[in-house]
Chain A
Amino acid sequence: MILNVAKIICAEQWRYWLRTKVAATVLLLGAMLTIAALVVNAFHIDEAAHTRDHLQTEAEQRFEAQPDKHPHRMVHYGHYVFRAPTPLSVIEPGVDTYTGNAIFLEGHRQNSAMFAEQRQSAGLTRFSSLTPSFLALVLAPLFIILIGYGSVSREREAGTLTLLLSQGTTRWQLLLGKLLALITASSLFLLPLLLACLYVAFSNESALVVILFCLSYVVYFLLWATVVTACSAIFEKGSVSFTVLVVIWMSACVLLPRLGSSVATNIAPSIGKLEADFKVEEKLRSLGDGHDVNDPAFKKLKEDLLAKYNVDSVDDLPVNFRGIVAQYSEGRQAKVLNEFAETRMSEELEQAQIARQFGWLSPTVAVRSISTILAGTSLETHHRFLREAETLRLEFVQALNKVHAEKLDYKLDINRNASEEAADKAVVGADNWAILAEFDFKPEAGSTRISNALIYFIQLLLWMGLTALLLQAAVRRLNP
């Protein structure tokens, strides 16, 4: 009986929305925006995935197709690695939008990722931010407020609430009916997103991850529909409930996430990129110049090597001393670079984790954390990409340095600048370029991502409990 009456009230609310042009327009606009964002993003990501696949293959082919060259020139010729977007990034691009998805790998340095969406877009065109997750997490609640803030207060202000309750309709039935209507209206925004998830479920993604991803958004929409219905019931006037709801929206969707970032950077400050780069350069300089075999930094290496091979001069070594120095120097540089990179990543992660604690204060932050972690577009996944790219970088640079040490004669090498002819002789064959390991970056396993997101699901559970209490309070306070 409770549900029957609730369904009748829900149907009537829908009839009101459809006959009131403003409400119908808001619903239509919201649904169209969601679909547009999904379609645009899906095309964009699909194109990006194909482009990255193509570019990765082309980069490998171009590297291997280089003619006979000095191996160190190949170290600086470099190589690109690309990260293919995860299936759920169609909905949640996460940090990919800011961090970039391609890295140029070369000797002696760790380059940042590039081709970030936000860096490519012009300063004034913010449409690139209109991702489906942004729409669902930030704009959809505003649409829910616009269509739902007056759902109960309208009845009170018009006087129909007294008549409704005097017909034997209970307060629970009334609020349940209004809530049901708002939930079904919200599903207009949610449905395209869920359909996209269904499509993703058939791609190379864990079904459980997709289900939990959808569930977090469904719960988020339920939370907002409940809060809007409850506020509409608690406050006597529609204008008051609208004002209160907009304040709640501003706090949850705009201010608290920003505050989270600010607090994180204050609690766990990190040095700027420029300052960090200077420090890295300073430290690297102290390690010696790997291009100069006479640098005092390699004196001991030289002595050890001469002793090992029992010779008096580097000219008599069975290996190219310049190649050995390059190998040695690259190894030490990589260690320093990794130390700095790990420090920077741990600082970034600490900041991200502090910002995510704001999920206890805002459900938007909680769902955003779940969404990025499950979609494989979180900071943790980006850091894995950087680490895997660095492993590949060091492997291919050291492989070239090995070729340098073992396959290029030392005398030819040191005389390479004497003449054009000498330069032509100081090369190794192009068959030595087949050293690139296949790079196929995959995000963490589904189970790892789920376990990483667990704490944020607990945040969401807390919000469910709080909104249930709010609804109960609204039922108690609902008076004509």
Chain B
Amino acid sequence: MQTNSVICADALTVCVDDRTLLDNLNFNVGKGEVFALLGGNGAGKSTTLKTFLGLMKASSGSATVLGHNASTQPNQVQKSVAYLPESVTLYGHLSGVENIRYFLSVAGVDKSDDDMFAALRKVALQEDSWNKALSNYSKGMRQKTAIALALLRNAPVLFLDEPTSGLDPAAIDEFNALVSELAAGGATIFMVTHDVYGACQVAHRIVLLSNGKLTGSFERAGDTPIDTEAVHAAFAGRNV
């Protein structure tokens, strides 16, 4: 385990009933790093995410975030991270602004309306939709609202679950740019995805997960994105 790591899996194993969902995972994610955990359906990506968020407990080993053990100190972990779920699930009966205000208030984060509007502008959510019920939003608009919420949390660590799933290419580009900007600002970003291309574009490091085990790792060399073909071959090879 690296001492300067923000996110650390140390022999992390998660078993539910008789099934081993995660088997002896070991990795570290440093400050300002964009880390992508790539895997197919049922590989264990969501379990990994839930374990780091303190929503599932490690059976052995540990999952730590900013030095807090997610199994034993879930509240400390949750207070210092922002989470962007796969299908952005905010409240349909509330407007974008009301959703953000509500989630910030339960998190105990006090933000002014100006801060909120600035965040919404930063994620480029059309201003005329801010006060409309979320049930009228497209998936991209919901995604932007959730990202604005994550930004307002000022969390040093962001956990993203399939962040580009269902977004159109332009929205994916906007999103990737935003992730890169946040990482450049010092935020640590941990994303789980099965989108090989998107992960290669934005991640500093990609780790492959299959049947709960780590099966490969790719790192970006300088500004050159990770080789999509190589990752795809490894990913597909493991899943065919």
CB of B232 within 8 A of chain A? no
CB of B167 within 8 A of chain A? no
Q: Give which listed residue, A15, A163, A168, contacts B89 with CB less than 8 A.
A: A163
Q: Give which listed residue, B75, B85, B102, contacts A8 with CB less than 8 A.
A: B102
Q: How far is the CB of B129 from chain A (nearest CB, A)?
A: 18
Cα–Cα distance between A162 and B47 once the two chains are bound (Å): 12
Cα–Cα distance between A5 and B56 once the two chains are bound (Å): 22
Q: How far is the CB of A177 from chain B (nearest CB, A)?
A: 9
B interface residue count range (under 10 / 10 to 19 / 20 to 34 / 35 or more) = 20 to 34
CB of A158 within 8 A of chain B? yes
Q: In the complex the two chains form, is B106's CB within 8 Å of A164's CB?
A: yes
Q: In the complex the two chains form, is A5's CB within 8 Å of B108's CB?
A: yes
CB of B111 within 8 A of chain A? no
CB of B177 within 8 A of chain A? no
Q: How many chain A residues touch B (Cβ–Cβ < 8 Å)?
A: 25
Residues of B within 8 A of A164 (CB): 103, 106
Q: How far is the CB of B67 from chain A (nearest CB, A)?
A: 17
Task: Closest A residue to B93 by CB, please name it.
Answer: A19
Q: In the complex the two chains form, is B81's CB within 8 Å of A166's CB?
A: yes
Q: In the complex the two chains form, is B90's CB within 8 Å of A166's CB?
A: no
Q: In the complex the two chains form, is A168's CB within 8 Å of B90's CB?
A: no
Q: In the complex the two chains form, is B103's CB within 8 Å of A167's CB?
A: yes
Supposing A159-B85, A166-B55, A480-B50 touch, asked if A20 and B93 sit within 8 A by C-beta, the answer is yes
Residues of B within 8 A of A432 (CB): none
Q: How far is the CB of B216 from chain A (nearest CB, A)?
A: 28
Task: Closest B residue to A173 by CB, please name it.
Answer: B106
Q: In the complex the two chains form, is B108's CB within 8 Å of A168's CB?
A: yes
Q: In the complex the two chains form, is B78's CB within 8 Å of A167's CB?
A: yes
CB of A99 within 8 A of chain B? no
CB of A437 within 8 A of chain B? no
Q: In the complex the two chains form, is B106's CB within 8 Å of A5's CB?
A: yes
Residues of B within 8 A of A9 (CB): 106
One digit per residue, 1 when the CB lies within 8 angstroms of any chain A CB and 0 when it does not, for chain B 39-83 equals 000000000001001011000000000000000000100110101
Residues of B within 8 A of A391 (CB): none
Residues of A within 8 A of B92 (CB): 158
Task: Closest A residue to B103 by CB, please name it.
Answer: A167
One digit per residue, 1 when the CB lies within 8 angstroms of any chain A CB and 0 when it does not, for chain B 165-208 equals 00000000000000000000000000000000000000000000
Task: Closest A residue to B56 by CB, please name it.
Answer: A479
Residues of A within 8 A of B87 (CB): 159
Cα–Cα distance between A16 and B90 once the two chains are bound (Å): 13
Cα–Cα distance between A216 and B92 once the two chains are bound (Å): 38
- The residue in A4, A19, A165, A166 that gathers the most chain B C-beta atoms within 10 A of its C-beta is A166
CB of B91 within 8 A of chain A? yes
CB of A12 within 8 A of chain B? yes
Q: In the complex the two chains form, is A169's CB within 8 Å of B106's CB?
A: yes
Residues of B within 8 A of A168 (CB): 75, 78-79, 106-108
User: Which residues of B are in contact with A by a Cβ distance under 8 Å?
Assistant: 50, 53, 55-56, 75, 78-79, 81, 83, 85, 87, 89-94, 102-103, 105-108, 146, 159
User: Which residues of A are in contact with B by a Cβ distance under 8 Å?
Assistant: 1, 4-5, 8-9, 12, 15-16, 19-20, 158-160, 162-170, 173, 479-480
Contacts beyond the supplied A160-B91, A163-B83, A166-B159: 4 A-B pairs with Cβ under 8 Å: A165-B55, A165-B78, A167-B106, A479-B55
Q: Can you list the 9 inter-chain pairs with the closest CB atoms, starting with the nearest?
A: A159-B89, A168-B78, A166-B83, A167-B107, A168-B79, A19-B93, A8-B105, A166-B53, A160-B89
Q: What are 30 of the A-B contact pairs (CB < 8 Å)?
A: A1-B108, A12-B91, A12-B102, A16-B93, A20-B93, A158-B89, A159-B85, A159-B87, A160-B89, A160-B91, A162-B53, A162-B55, A162-B83, A162-B85, A162-B89, A163-B89, A163-B103, A163-B146, A164-B103, A166-B53, A166-B159, A167-B103, A167-B106, A167-B107, A168-B75, A168-B79, A168-B108, A170-B75, A479-B56, A480-B55
